[in-house]
Structure 1
């Protein structure tokens, strides 16, 4: 595909993250994240106005504790009653959808980007991105890491500190590095 780096990123193709348009999008996200992380809780509410505006979608009762970080924000969707505890990071180079009644413990990280294995191409900022989908009624324990392309089914549990490298079936509990069914 030919097109902008943003179009390539959205299509799941190899793109160069060192791009002026993507830089502008990341800058917008940094400003929204800064507002969210620096407003007093009373002013911020469940989600700072700039962050709520940035996200692709966020239910009115979705709650994101500060501090929080995201790379673009425009690819994040939060369902009803989603709760992200303090220190969560979502590097949303691809869509990240978090379903209704799902809770993320403190310091959970979600990574959509995969950098090129060739060092020369990696230096040029070549990467690809795959979506992460987290179903409804999921619990992800503190410090867990969810990697690109993973889908976590409804009602699943991810143990604290787990590194999730593959899909998790609905109703399953996974723990460890790499995460395995418990």
Structure 2
């Protein structure tokens, strides 16, 4: 059983269990190696990520630095691009579709903590999966919280905090992130990207 197979989405678990600690240490070692590879050594960078992730459907480019908890719960589609400082807390599955682009400083967080102070003090956490469907663009400094699905062809504007599902084919903005409007024919020629 892998380090995270015992975690049931939405149920409390203790991340200080030695199984989880060792899983994170293993991933951190691989990530450290990736983050310190010369940027020109694209083949080694890609191979390190492929060996870390649960699955990779095709081509991708992840700019350094990159951070995650385990790596084994990250599943990416074809033609994924992430700018610098992508952080994925992948306690449970993070599924990223085809043609997904991330701006800099994006965080995808499957892990959360109880509202009750004593359970937080006791070190308990919960986790819910994140799904980002095909053709999504997530702008710089966006935060995606546990349990969220972002629908295909949508755009999350820079600085958004996504606390609930976003439907397909929309521009969403703000904190908390809300649908601003649908993406339409005008967007094929407009330069007013989020208006």
State the TM-score, normalized to the length of structure 2: 0.86
Which deviations, in whole Å up to 9, do the C-alpha atoms of 1:158-178 show, x marking residues without a partner? 000000001000001100000
Identify the residue that residue 177 of structure 2 maps to in structure 1: 179
**Does structure 2 retain, via aligned residues, the 8 Å contact 1:8–1:14?**
no
Q: How does 1:23-172 map to 2 (within 5 A)?
A: 23-45=21-43, 47-172=45-170
Where does structure 2 lack aligned partners over 5 or more consecutive residues? 181-195
Q: Post-superposition shift, 1:11?
A: 4.6
RMSD: 1.9
Higher alpha-carbon deviation: 139-148 or 58-67? 58-67
Structure of larger gyration radius: 2
Where does structure 1 lack aligned partners over 5 or more consecutive residues? none
- Answering whether residue 15 of structure 2 is matched by residue 17 of structure 1, we say yes
**Does structure 2 retain, via aligned residues, the 8 Å contact 1:46–1:63?**
no
State the TM-score, normalized to the length of structure 1: 0.92
Structure 1 residue ranges, 4+ long, deviating more than 4 angstroms after superposition: none
**Does structure 2 retain, via aligned residues, the 8 Å contact 1:162–1:175?**
yes
In the alignment, the residues of structure 2 paired with residue 9 and residue 51 of structure 1 have an alpha-carbon distance, to the nearest angstrom, of 23
In the alignment, the residues of structure 1 paired with residue 48 and residue 3 of structure 2 have an alpha-carbon distance, to the nearest angstrom, of 25
